[in-house]
Amino acid sequence: MVFQGHIENGVAIFDEPVALPDGMKVRIEPIAEMSRKTLAERFKNIIGAARNRPDDMAENHDHYLHGTPKP
């Protein structure tokens, strides 16, 4: 059986009432959060913030950042 729940102040709290006998061994493993932010959501404050850049910056960023030759 699998029971769902969450941790609150270091204690496992089940979503539904669960009757398990005292001393029963259990395994609790974290599950990934379903509401993880996408890269676009995490960087929304800086996306499009660059101003006065060359028109070909995306294609030639290594040239502008590191001085490598343009293709």
pLDDT, tens digit, for every residue of 23-55? 999 999 888 766 678 889 989 999 988 889 899
Q: Helix or strand or coil: residue 39?
A: helix
- Pick 34 or 12 by higher pLDDT: 12
**Taking Cα atoms as reference points, which of 70, 50, 52 lies closest to residue 61?**
70
pTM of the entire predicted model: 0.40
Return mean pLDDT, the chain.
89
Token couple for 25: 């061994």
- Within a 13 Å sphere around the CA of 36, how many CA atoms are in the beta-carbon half? 6
Does residue 63 carry a pLDDT above 70?
A: yes
User: Which tokens in the block code for residue 70?
Assistant: 């343009």
